[in-house]
């Protein structure tokens, strides 16, 4: 049975993420990139800075000082850096810096938005830890008020200001895609369904981006359980029907495979649909107790990198 507060929260999210279809401005960040020499993808991080560092080292992306050493490596992180751990802000800031360092070295870092990034922009903080609130206190308005004049929800004020559309860290998330196609590889947190292709990959990316900037209402697909950050069609024991749907999507996108996170794969990264689909969420955060793994793609060769 749902609690009344959850019903109210669901109603609020529906109101916030209403359908809205203005004229579409051209996207200012590409959704498709050429095939690089080497791609490494890592899954959900959920606020665990130590696991993040170990995954990045496993990929050959950073040294012991968290500096980029990947050269022309293209690194993809498929979303859900937020929630369930206390290292979220450090992870967000690390990926911003690594993207700049990688670009200067001829490589690239593509951190995608997952459902937990978009939940925070919708002010859904049910999975935030006390440390996750404390890290963003500086963004709270009227932060110099005496403690006696503060209310019981004031611990959330800084995070609300940082992540609400137009806020400082919402704008960090606005610099990310939700779906990216690199060469013949589609990367997305939940999955791309045929209706997403119909709607337009570029349009999805652009509408999320402009919403996060505070320039438009929340798109309806953000909170949809069939949306690209929420669907589990491909990540939860995909059956023949899911593989058939995947084949249609890949053909329409001129792609060879899809890589998703979102659902923990017990035992590590798994291939489905004759290698056309890879689930890379291995629950590597302390919350889930897994070990870092990464997926390396070099042309037609795909292999799992396993950490300690």
**Residue 196 is a catalytic residue:** no
Instruction: Give the predicted TM-score (pTM) of the model.
Output: 0.90
pLDDT at position 143: 52
CA–chain centroid gap for 198, Å, is 22
Closest C-alpha to 273, from 303, 296, 233, 246: 246
- The 10 Å CB-count burial string (b at 16+, else e) for 161-180 is bbbbbebebbbbbbbbbbbb
Spatial CB neighbours of 29, under 8 Å, sequence gap ≥ 6: 175, 177, 205, 209
pLDDT at position 144: 55
pLDDT at position 151: 52
Question: pLDDT per residue over 14-54, tens digit each?
Answer: 445 743 343 344 447 999 999 999 999 999 999 999 999 99
Do the Cβ atoms of 45 and 91 come closer than 8 Å? yes
- Catalytic residue chosen out of the listed positions 110, 116, 196, 262: 116
Taking the CA of residue 185 as centre, how many other CA atoms within 13 Å lie in the half-sphere pointing to its CB? 29
Question: pLDDT per residue over 237-281, tens digit each?
Answer: 999 999 999 999 999 999 999 999 999 999 999 999 999 999 999
Domains annotated for the chain, with CATH where assigned, are 33-125+175-306 (3.60.21.10)
Give the Cα separation of 237 and 141 in Å (integer): 45
Query: Which stretches of the chain drop beneath a pLDDT of 50?
Result: 1-15, 18-27, 146, 148-150
pLDDT at position 154: 80
- Enter the tokens of residue 119: 């939940």
On average, the pLDDT of the chain sits at: 91
């Amino acid at each position: 049975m749902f609690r009344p507060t959850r019903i109210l929260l669901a109603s609020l999210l529906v109101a916030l993420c209403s359908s809205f279809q203005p004229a579409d401005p051209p996207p200012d960040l590409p959704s498709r990139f050429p095939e690089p020499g080497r791609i490494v993808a890592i899954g959900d991080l959920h606020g665990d800075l130590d696991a993040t560092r170990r995954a990045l080292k496993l990929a050959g992306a950073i040294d012991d000082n968290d500096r980029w050493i990947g050269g022309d490596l293209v690194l993809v992180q498929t979303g859900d850096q937020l929630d369930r751990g206390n290292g979220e802000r450090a992870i967000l800031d690390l990926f911003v810096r690594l993207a700049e360092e990688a670009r200067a070295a001829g490589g690239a870092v593509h951190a995608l938005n997952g459902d937990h990034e978009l939940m925070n922009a919708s002010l859904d903080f049910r999975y935030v830890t006390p440390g996750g609130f404390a890290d963003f206190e500086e963004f709270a308005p009227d932060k110099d008020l005496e403690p006696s004049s503060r209310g019981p929800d004031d611990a959330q004020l800084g995070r609300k200001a940082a992540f609400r559309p137009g806020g400082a860290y919402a704008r960090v998330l606005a610099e990310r895609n939700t779906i990216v196609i690199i060469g013949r590889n589609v990367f997305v947190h939940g999955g791309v369904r045929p209706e997403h292709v119909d709607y337009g990959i570029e349009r999805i990316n652009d509408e999320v981006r402009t919403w996060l900037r505070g320039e438009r209402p929340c798109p309806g697909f953000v909170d949809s359980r069939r949306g690209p950050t929420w669907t589990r069609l491909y990540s939860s024991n995909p059956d023949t029907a899911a593989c058939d749907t995947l084949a249609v999507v890949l053909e329409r996108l001129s792609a060879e495979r899809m890589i998703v996170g979102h659902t923990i794969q017990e035992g590590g990264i798994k291939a489905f649909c004759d290698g056309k689909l890879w689930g890379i969420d291995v629950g590597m955060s302390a919350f889930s107790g897994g070990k870092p793994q990464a997926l390396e793609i070099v042309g037609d060769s795909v292999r799992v990198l396993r950490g300690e």
